[in-house]
Every structure is written in C-alpha cells, then in structure tokens.
Amino acid sequence: MGRDLYAASAAARAIFDLADATLGLALTRLCFEGPEEALTATENAQPALLTVSAALLAVLAERWGERATGPEGEATVTPSPCHPVTPSYVAGHSLGEYSALVAAGAIDIPTALRLVRRRGELMAEAREGGMAAIIGLDEARLEQICREASAEAAPVVIANYNSPGQLVISGAGAAVERACALAKERGAKRALPLKVSAAFHSPLMRDAVAGLTAAVAQAAILDARTPVISNVTAEPLIQADAIRGELIAQVTSPVRWIASVRRMVAEGVDTFVEIGPGSVLTGLIKRIAPEARLVNVSDLASAHALVKS
C-alpha cells in the first residue's frame, strides 16, 4: 500500500518518513511488507491509511509545484489554488475525516497521525457489541427496527448512513441480532454481520470518549481553510473549536454520509475527487448523486492522470 508513491515521489517519501518518525514505528515497512494481520490491526491501519492519503495529496501538490514546509520542518501539502481540483468543500467518512482536515489545513500531518493512532488504540481496546450491514431497507424503516430491537442498557443504532439502501447498524450483540432478524422479516435483501471487534459509532463507544477528548485537547487544531462537511451533522465546519467537538462526537455518533454528499450537491458541488487507497466512497457517491462527476485518486497513476486532466 503506497509503495508506488514512495518509489516515484520525493514528496510522498517525505510523508512516509515523517509518519515513521512521528509514531516511532516502522509504519512504512508495515504498509509495504505487512504482515497483513499487523497492518489491519486498527491501531496500525488508521495511521497507515492516513499516511497513504497524505502521500497522495503530496504527490498532487508536488506535481503542481505547491509543496511547502511547515514551521517545525514537517511536510505540508496544499493543492494549487489555480488548479480546478481546489475544493469548495472537503469531507471524509469516519477515519477519512482526519485526512479531510489535513487537506483543509486544520491539522498538520504529525498531529493527525498522533490523533488517529490514539483513536485506533482506543477502538482496539473496545470489546463490546458488534455491527452489521443492512442492504435494501430505507432509513426510516431501519431506524424503527433499531428502536424496537434496543433495550435501555443494550442499544442498537444506525452507525453508517452510507448510501440509499446500504446502511450499517451498531450496538449490543443481542440487539444487533434482533435488528438483523427484524430487517430480514421486513424486506431487507441482506443482513450481514461485520468482522469488527466492537460497536463503532454507537453509544457503546462512550469509554473511548475520555481518552480521545484528552488527545484532542492537546492537539494543535486551526480554523479550516476549506469548509469540512461534518460526519455528525452534515454541516460545514470551519472554526477550530467546532472541529475539536466533531472529532470527539464522531466516536459515538453515526456517519451521515448520505446527508453529507447531498449537502455538498445542494451547495453546487458537481465533481467529487476521492483521494486515498481504494474507491469505496466513489461507489457510494455514485449511488447518492448519480449525476455527479466522480474521480478516484488511489495510486501514482491516477494521481498523475488527474494532474494532466
């Protein structure tokens, strides 16, 4: 993951080297060589995914001649303001919101790395509950099912509003099972348990809030140069204090991706550029806003293709 960027781009190498130095671990080697079990552990996967996304941003900035150096010597990247990829808004899904904040200039890369490493550690410590993908039900019906399947001490909620007909529920194990059974009875095409260690983006993640609150309080966070569409509210974030609140609330709140994309479309956005490994968000946006132009930048070749377009 990211090996082609490291081999071809000095800017990308600087990001990988910065990640290794910031975290005090061989993250670059882990990205390139694994082992897969270690790479996919959430405390490693989260900074690894952020690093690759930042490296892609660095490649774009390098190609446009806009690479800069921050006050402490860390690499920072800002797409050229004269290039059409300069965003009106940025957004990211769950972990991806941290990459969006880097792109918006609200947090620098070392700060983002430390935050997502801590976020990953806290998520890895959580062992309560589970999650399931529900395919083929609308939001209102699934929200009602979650209410019926929940108990006071054992809730289940929609955790990810990914795209119309593709939702994810999260909560206490028994409540998730009840909700899956009800969803199938009421017309869901599929109800698929996910291989996760806990009930992410649900009230059961409350124990992680204190640890992340402490980390966010110590982090240097600035006002965003570009509005960041909130996972929690689907509203634009600019002020640093609002961003701090977002990063804490995000842990126990659903990711409102459908509303986020629709908000951007309502504001006049007609082109979405996904920057990061994979193309999951491109697929989701295609179902939410089929009229939009979609561009995926996930490797060196696609980064170069965007610059040439």
Residue 65: the pLDDT is: 64
What DSSP designation does 108 have? Answer: -
Residue from 9, 53, 93, 94 carrying the catalytic annotation: 94
Residue 85: the pLDDT is: 58
Long-range contacts of 261-268 (CB under 8 A, 24+ apart): 261/91, 261/285, 261/288, 261/289, 262/234, 262/288, 262/289, 263/229, 263/234, 263/235, 263/236, 264/88, 264/89, 264/91, 264/229, 265/289, 265/292, 267/88, 267/89, 268/88
First and final C-alpha spacing in the chain: 24
Q: Could you give the domains of the chain?
A: 3-124+206-308 (3.40.366.10), 127-199 (3.30.70.250)
Scanning the chain, the segments in alpha helix (DSSP H) are: 3-8, 10-23, 27-33, 36-40, 42-63, 96-103, 109-125, 139-149, 173-185, 206-218, 240-249, 257-266, 280-288, 300-308
Dihedral of CA atoms 142, 143, 145, 146 in degrees, nearest 10, equals: 120
pLDDT along the chain (309 residues), means of 10: 93 96 96 93 95 95 60 40 68 97 96 97 92 97 98 95 98 97 97 93 95 97 97 98 98 98 97 94 97 95 86
Question: Do 45 and 39 contact (CB within 8 A), yes or no?
Answer: yes
Long-range contacts of 305-308 (CB under 8 A, 24+ apart): 306/60, 306/85, 306/273, 307/60, 307/63, 307/64, 307/83
Dihedral of CA atoms 15, 18, 19, 25 in degrees, nearest 10, equals: 140
Q: Alpha-carbon distance 91 to 97, whole Å?
A: 6
Q: Alpha-carbon distance 213 to 217, whole Å?
A: 6
Residue 1: the pLDDT is: 86
Beta bridge partners of 296: 274
Q: 201 catalytic, yes or no?
A: yes
Residue from 93, 201, 202, 253 carrying the catalytic annotation: 201
Q: Alpha-carbon distance 167 to 197, whole Å?
A: 18
Instruction: Report the sign of the C-alpha dihedral through residues 200, 246, 11, 53, in that order.
Output: positive
Sheet with 166-171: strands ordered across: 156-163, 166-171, 130-135, 190-193
What DSSP designation does 159 have? Answer: E
